[in-house]
Amino acid sequence: MKKKMKPESLMMSYGYKPELSEGSIKCPIFQTSTFVFKSAEEGKGFFEVAYGLREKNKGEETGLIYSRINNPDIEILEARLTLWEEAEDCAVFESGMAAISTVLLEFLKPGDLLLFSSPLYGGSDHFIKKILTKFNIHVLDFKVGQSKDEIIKLVNQSGLADNLAMIYIETPANPTNHLIDIEGSKEIAQHFSKPDKEIYLAVDNTYLGPIWQHPMKLGADLVLYSATKYIGGHSDVIAGACLGNKALIKRVKGLRTFLGNMASPNTGWLLLRSLETLKVRMDAIAFNADKVAAFLNKHQAVEKVYFLGNLTEKDGEQFHIRNRQCLTNGGMISFDVKGGEKEAFKVLNALKLIKLAVSLGSTESLAEHPATMTHSDVDLQLKQELSITEKMIRLSVGVENYEDIIHDISQALDILKTNKKRN
Ligand SMILES: *Cc1c(COP(=O)(O)O)cnc(C)c1O
pLDDT digits (tens, 9 = 90+) for 83-102: 999 999 999 999 999 999 99
Q: Is 243 in the pocket of ligand 1 (CB under 6 A)?
A: no
Which is the closest atom of ligand 1 to the Cα of 174? 13
pLDDT digits (tens, 9 = 90+) for 344-365: 999 999 999 999 999 999 999 9
pLDDT of residue 418: 63
What is the pTM for the complete model shown?
Answer: 0.95
Angle at the Cα of 18 (from 15 to 24), degrees rounded to 5? Answer: 125
pLDDT digits (tens, 9 = 90+) for 100-121: 999 999 999 999 999 999 989 9
**Mean pLDDT value of segment 275-293:** 98
Which is the closest atom of ligand 1 to the Cα of 227? 7
Q: Is 394 in the pocket of ligand 1 (CB under 6 A)?
A: no
As a whole number of angstroms, the distance between CA 125 and CA 97 comes to: 11
Domain ranges of the chain: 72-275, 278-422
pLDDT digits (tens, 9 = 90+) for 151-183: 999 999 999 999 999 999 999 999 999 999 999
Task: For residue 176, give the nearest of 363, 377, 336, 362 by alpha carbon.
Answer: 336
Q: Hey, how many other C-beta atoms are within 10 angstroms of the C-beta on 20?
A: 10
From the CA of 94, how far away is ligand 1's center (Å)? Answer: 11
- Evaluate whether the domain defined by 278-422 bears CATH number 3.90.1150.10: yes
Strand partners, 117: 142
As a whole number of angstroms, the distance between CA 16 and CA 423 comes to: 64
Contact (CB, 8 A) for 233 and 278: yes
Q: Is 119 in the pocket of ligand 1 (CB under 6 A)?
A: no
**Mean pLDDT value of segment 193-217:** 97
- Give 244's pLDDT tier (boundaries 50, 70, 90): very high
Q: Is 307 in the pocket of ligand 1 (CB under 6 A)?
A: no
pLDDT of residue 217: 96
Mutate which of 228, 230, 237, 358 for ligand 1? The one with the most ligand atoms within 8 Å of its CB, which is 228
What is the DSSP secondary structure assignment for residue 62, as one 8-state letter? P
As a whole number of angstroms, the distance between CA 403 and CA 409 comes to: 10
What secondary structure does DSSP assign to 118-133, as a single string?
Answer: ES--HHHHHIIIIIGG
pLDDT of residue 119: 87
pLDDT of residue 420: 53
As a whole number of angstroms, the distance between CA 87 and CA 203 comes to: 14
pLDDT of residue 1: 60
As a whole number of angstroms, the distance between CA 242 and CA 373 comes to: 27
Q: State the CATH class of domain 72-275.
A: alpha beta
From the CA of 332, how far away is ligand 1's center (Å)? Answer: 14
Share of the chain above pLDDT 90, in %: 90
Contact (CB, 8 A) for 200 and 166: yes
From the CA of 97, how far away is ligand 1's center (Å)? Answer: 6
From the CA of 14, how far away is ligand 1's center (Å)? Answer: 26
Q: Is 123 in the pocket of ligand 1 (CB under 6 A)?
A: yes
Residue 238 has pLDDT above 50, yes or no: yes
pLDDT digits (tens, 9 = 90+) for 45-80: 999 988 888 888 888 888 999 999 999 999 999 999
- Give 251's pLDDT tier (boundaries 50, 70, 90): very high
From the CA of 305, how far away is ligand 1's center (Å)? Answer: 23
